[in-house]
Structure 1
Amino acid sequence: MKAIIYKIYLVVLGMCLLSACSKNWEDHFGGGDADAQKNLYTIISEHAEFSTFMDLLNKSGYGESLKESKNYTLIVPTNDAIAAVQDQYNFSDTAVIKSFVGYHIINSVYNVNSGADTVKALNFRNKYVEFTHGAFDGVEPLQGNLVASNGLYHVVGRPLKPLQNIFNLVRTFFADTKQIEAVNSFDTVSTEGDIIYYRYSPVWYTEVRRNMTTENKKHTYFVVDDENFETEYAKLRPFYATAYEEGNTLRPDSTTTFFAKKALLRDFIVEGELATDQLTNNLISIAGTKFSLDPSNIISRTKASNGVVYRVKRLEFALADQIKEIKVLGARPIGYKQTDKRSNTFFREKRDNEGNLYNDIEVYDHKVTSFYVKYRATGMNVAKYKVYGRAIMGLAGDPQTAAFIQYVYFFDPKLISVNEVDLYKRSVVNNLGANDTRMTFDVQPLNHGEVYLGEVTQDQYGNLPLLVMSNGTGPIILEYLRFVPIIQ
């Protein structure tokens, strides 16, 4: 009984001490009922412990925002906290002040998050501060959830550190590497007469740069030694050969160098922020390329605002993983022999006999001899491809139930003709191993497997236009064509 009473006494005593401690914090830093009636700007200005931050706030130009009725969350470093890191910042530079102060002001109201889940709060610098495990980007508050009339503020004994995004970080710390020289080469502004070349091409931005700069998604980025970068670049370059000369002023984004560098640079980016123990042999880049990293090759790890950057000696890529297969979907044509057969053209969603959903195209009863549907295989590397097709026919409700033949033709830029169809007679090797100008696609009832059609060679990087043509006035059915590169 005495033991129980003693335990109750300890609990009560602890609660009293906690209450007294909270009261002391409120007395020291504010946060009581009086402060709840004042805006964030007024509260900070009235407390001597925040005078250094207040001075920076006024110089930053953000002070007026904290007087507004809109709600904010303010993370306030004490004078001692700023003094401890003052030698790391040039506070005579307005840009530095705006970056430092803006990092501590957050749009909307966020309580201290004691859970293991992460709440991402957008600050004035368009960066995300992570509220998790009772801390802000790993900085624990001295006091939290203090109320103002226009939001909350939390007091910290260590300022938040404004982090660079991956793009700016690698350009700052690793600018002397061949890899980052390649990154920088895409960001140029030049003029040629009346032509202005913009800072970066849309393709470069969409496929690479955006993944290095976006703040609402985490990525892991790898920077390799020069030897590794140049070896991988030399390996890829022949597969991205184009007819455009280097230094071409009309199409600077269509050269062999442009496409080869862009393709390689995509493969140094992995989705998600990976810890060191997650760097396995099964890494997959944003371009879908598998690669591996020996942990002994890791040199450093640097935190970025939108992920993490690893400086490594080398990454291991297999060419068979870098030069990928291409698929052309039947339900995505780009044109037809003539446009008046829409009522005979069906875009179908069906379920095969194995229960799998698929989409295809069927052109039926069109009554046009050698009717064709036009397609385009995009991003084809300089390589020889084996071509496979899938077309399922004879399921319930399908008007076509008998076997039929259709043909696949490929565009040849060397041919000249006034008739469109005569431009699509590129030399191929058919499914029997013979030279031909077309591939025969034999469609059998209820065949759910792929049909091997033959081989076609792409001698320049880029698009490969093609036709799927009916045999006489017969039907056309296509789920997809699949192009598999032959890598020696």
Structure 2
Amino acid sequence: MKKQYSLLLIGLLGVCIAACKQWDDRVMLTDSALTRTLFGEISAQPELSKFSDLLVKSGYDKLISSSKNYTVWAPTNKALESVDLASLNDTTALRLFVGNHVALQTYPAPAGTQEVRIQTLNGKYIPFANGRFGESAITASNKYVANGVLHILDKALAVQPNLLGFINSSKDTYVQNKVLGSLSYLVLNPDKAIVDSISSTTGRPVYRPGTGIEQKNKFTDLVYNLADESKQFTYILLTNDAFAAEVTKLSPYFKTSTADSTYNLASYQVLKDMAVEGLYTVDKLPAVLKSKFGVDVPLDKTALVRTVPVSNGVAYVFSKSNVAVQSRLQPIVVQGENYSSQLQNVASTAIAIREKLNPVTSQTFRDLSIIAHGVSGFWVRYRVPEVPNMKYKVYWVALNDQTRNYRTNTLPIVVSQRLAMGSLTSTTFANIAVPNDTYTEVLLGEYTTTSFGTLDMYLIANGTNSMALDYIRLVPVLP
């Protein structure tokens, strides 16, 4: 029994020693991988030799050999066969291409169906899901090394332009893109300009000519920055005939003294509604896309002629998009408190901007109240820029809720006023005595502008009577 027991112990000890050796071998293998850098790991894999060479040529080999953590999505030698490597002889092009496959920080493959957008070293954002990176399939993932993680791709990622890059590159093909490009202008950025001296007359800096000049674009300022890689956009691009048809529909409402300026104004009104924030894939494109400015843009998929994927979204080329004119020409609302000037200074207690509650809508609002001003024909002016030329129905809401003149203690307070359109001498609308406690819109009548531009409106007191205004609303009247 003792002998058998001894043999059993010896056997168990042997098994333990063998298991420990296997564990030591496993730890040694794991530790070996964790002692290599990303570049060391890539260099050690024969199937990644071409990408390793590109890393060296671009200088990124040193970057991914440093102490910072990176993630590399490395295309195999076979994957790189479809890439024109001669096109990468230019250093900038090479770094853009290689940088498309490298990101700062460690990104393991997302779990399940989760998808994240990863910013790579060239500034592009690429969707990363379990099994895919952009349009490439991941054949091996989550290879951890000392300074990050390595994934292997079956296809190299081409560097896609962003939306603005695509637009600029196709201005000769699409008139719509040419119009967007024409909205560029130059400005001086003092922070980037070189100061040659300080003016002894004004005390202001004198900048060196040609320095600090930056290019901006009206579309970028007022609609979207289509070069922003961190966001995604859907851009509706009309064929030249379709774009011309939309501009022709709007031109009568943006008439100026010259044909060129009329075209520029009308074409911008079409263009500003052709981009929305967010990526809509073809299968998710709605029948009607609502623009940033509330305009309904119909999308008939039978008129879709081309799809252009870009790094920050997608461009769809349509051969038609029949946007209703009334959708583009929306009502104009002018708030009573936002007047631009007045006849003369009056007592500070005469003019009040009030915060009120509308019992009809249960919404709070601000309005203008002018009482005891003591000036016959006192007026305030409203300046409304960029008013299309057409006929409007003109409404106002004027609240007379004052029951006593606090200065004279007389009852009641009379609010009597008129709205002069275009000039002080306009007699389009007569004086109106505003009834007490009326919160609903009152139709004043119709008014037609003669050209596109700034519209002046004057709220004028009937004698020395009090005045009040919540808002004025101009509603387009279409034929």
Describe the SS at the equivalent of 1:90.
Answer: helix
Query: 1:453 Cα shift?
Result: 1.9
Q: Contact 2:381 / 2:458 at 8 angstroms: preserved in 1?
A: yes
Assess, with a 3 A threshold, how the Cα gap between structure 1 residues 470 and 98 changes in structure 2: closer, same or farther.
Answer: farther
| Residue 215 of structure 1 pairs with residue 229 of structure 2 | yes
**1-structure distance, mates of 2:270, 2:249:** 10
**2-structure distance, mates of 1:88, 1:382:** 57
Q: Which residue does the alignment assign to 1:14?
A: none
Query: % of aligned pairs identical?
Result: 27
| Residue 295 of structure 1 pairs with residue 301 of structure 2 | yes
* One of 446, 461, 466 as aligned partner of 2:452: 461
Kindly provide the amino acid, as one letter, of the partner of residue 305 in structure 2: I
Query: 1:327 Cα shift?
Result: 1.5
Task: Give the structure-1-normalised TM-score.
Answer: 0.74
* One of 61, 76, 87 as aligned partner of 2:74: 76
Kindly provide the amino acid, as one letter, of the partner of residue 312 in structure 1: F
Q: Which residue does the alignment assign to 1:10?
A: none
Q: Contact 1:387 / 1:452 at 8 angstroms: preserved in 2?
A: yes
Describe the SS at the equivalent of 2:51.
Answer: helix
The runs of 5 or more residues in structure 1 that have no matched partner are 1-22, 247-254, 413-423, 431-438
Describe the SS at the equivalent of 1:95.
Answer: helix
After superposition, residues 82-93 of structure 1 pair within 5 angstroms as 82-83=80-81, 85-87=82-84, 90-93=87-90
* One of 436, 440, 443 as aligned partner of 1:452: 443
**1-structure distance, mates of 2:284, 2:34:** 46
Assess, with a 3 A threshold, how the Cα gap between structure 1 residues 31 and 176 changes in structure 2: closer, same or farther.
Answer: farther
Q: Contact 1:405 / 1:443 at 8 angstroms: preserved in 2?
A: yes
Assess, with a 3 A threshold, how the Cα gap between structure 1 residues 322 and 200 changes in structure 2: closer, same or farther.
Answer: farther
Deviations 1:129-175 (A, max 9, x none): 12345532243423333434444333222223322222322444574
Q: Which residue does the alignment assign to 2:196?
A: none
Q: Contact 1:334 / 1:376 at 8 angstroms: preserved in 2?
A: yes
Kindly provide the amino acid, as one letter, of the partner of residue 387 in structure 1: V
Assess, with a 3 A threshold, how the Cα gap between structure 1 residues 441 and 171 changes in structure 2: closer, same or farther.
Answer: farther
**1-structure distance, mates of 2:115, 2:434:** 53
Q: Which residue does the alignment assign to 1:234?
A: 248
**1-structure distance, mates of 2:139, 2:93:** 25
The runs of 5 or more residues in structure 2 that have no matched partner are 1-22, 187-208
Deviations 1:218-240 (A, max 9, x none): 22222333222222222222322
* One of 418, 421, 438 as aligned partner of 1:407: 418
Task: Give the structure-2-normalised TM-score.
Answer: 0.76
Assess, with a 3 A threshold, how the Cα gap between structure 1 residues 474 and 276 changes in structure 2: closer, same or farther.
Answer: same
Assess, with a 3 A threshold, how the Cα gap between structure 1 residues 330 and 146 changes in structure 2: closer, same or farther.
Answer: farther
Q: Which residue does the alignment assign to 2:198?
A: none
Deviations 1:100-133 (A, max 9, x none): 1222222444332234454222222322112345
Q: Contact 1:372 / 1:467 at 8 angstroms: preserved in 2?
A: yes
Assess, with a 3 A threshold, how the Cα gap between structure 1 residues 223 and 31 changes in structure 2: closer, same or farther.
Answer: farther
Describe the SS at the equivalent of 1:287.
Answer: coil
Assess, with a 3 A threshold, how the Cα gap between structure 1 residues 195 and 239 changes in structure 2: closer, same or farther.
Answer: farther
Describe the SS at the equivalent of 2:78.
Answer: helix
**2-structure distance, mates of 1:339, 1:74:** 69
Query: 1:303 Cα shift?
Result: 1.5
**1-structure distance, mates of 2:166, 2:229:** 13
Q: Which residue does the alignment assign to 1:272?
A: 278
Query: 1:440 Cα shift?
Result: 4.2
Describe the SS at the equivalent of 1:236.
Answer: helix
Kindly provide the amino acid, as one letter, of the partner of residue 444 in structure 1: P
**2-structure distance, mates of 1:407, 1:38:** 83
Describe the SS at the equivalent of 1:114.
Answer: coil
After superposition, residues 84-123 of structure 1 pair within 5 angstroms as 85-87=82-84, 90-123=87-120
Assess, with a 3 A threshold, how the Cα gap between structure 1 residues 470 and 144 changes in structure 2: closer, same or farther.
Answer: farther
After superposition, residues 401-440 of structure 1 pair within 5 angstroms as 404-412=415-423, 424-425=424-425, 427=426, 429-430=428-429, 440=431
Describe the SS at the equivalent of 2:159.
Answer: coil
Q: How many matched pairs? A: 427
Query: 1:213 Cα shift?
Result: 2.5
Describe the SS at the equivalent of 2:438.
Answer: coil
Assess, with a 3 A threshold, how the Cα gap between structure 1 residues 328 and 38 changes in structure 2: closer, same or farther.
Answer: farther
Kindly provide the amino acid, as one letter, of the partner of residue 361 in structure 1: D
Q: Contact 1:377 / 1:463 at 8 angstroms: preserved in 2?
A: yes
| Residue 203 of structure 1 pairs with residue 200 of structure 2 | no
Assess, with a 3 A threshold, how the Cα gap between structure 1 residues 330 and 300 changes in structure 2: closer, same or farther.
Answer: same
| Residue 324 of structure 1 pairs with residue 330 of structure 2 | yes
**2-structure distance, mates of 1:331, 1:144:** 62
Kindly provide the amino acid, as one letter, of the partner of residue 464 in structure 1: L
Q: Which residue does the alignment assign to 2:383?
A: 376
Describe the SS at the equivalent of 1:213.
Answer: coil
Q: Which has the larger radius of gyration?
A: 2
Deviations 1:409-452 (A, max 9, x none): 3444xxxxxxxxxxx33x4633xxxxxxxx64553333232111
Q: Which residue does the alignment assign to 2:54?
A: 56
Assess, with a 3 A threshold, how the Cα gap between structure 1 residues 236 and 80 changes in structure 2: closer, same or farther.
Answer: same
* One of 139, 144, 157 as aligned partner of 1:142: 139
Describe the SS at the equivalent of 1:317.
Answer: coil
After superposition, residues 117-266 of structure 1 pair within 5 angstroms as 117-172=114-169, 175-187=172-184, 202-207=217-222, 210-243=224-257, 246=260, 255-266=261-272
**2-structure distance, mates of 1:320, 1:362:** 30
Query: 1:381 Cα shift?
Result: 0.8
Larger mean CA deviation between 43-52 and 255-264 belongs to 43-52
Q: Which residue does the alignment assign to 2:311?
A: 305
Query: 1:356 Cα shift?
Result: 3.1
Query: 1:187 Cα shift?
Result: 4.8
**2-structure distance, mates of 1:305, 1:73:** 19
**2-structure distance, mates of 1:341, 1:69:** 71
Query: 1:380 Cα shift?
Result: 0.8
Assess, with a 3 A threshold, how the Cα gap between structure 1 residues 350 and 86 changes in structure 2: closer, same or farther.
Answer: same
**2-structure distance, mates of 1:307, 1:216:** 10
Assess, with a 3 A threshold, how the Cα gap between structure 1 residues 342 and 212 changes in structure 2: closer, same or farther.
Answer: farther
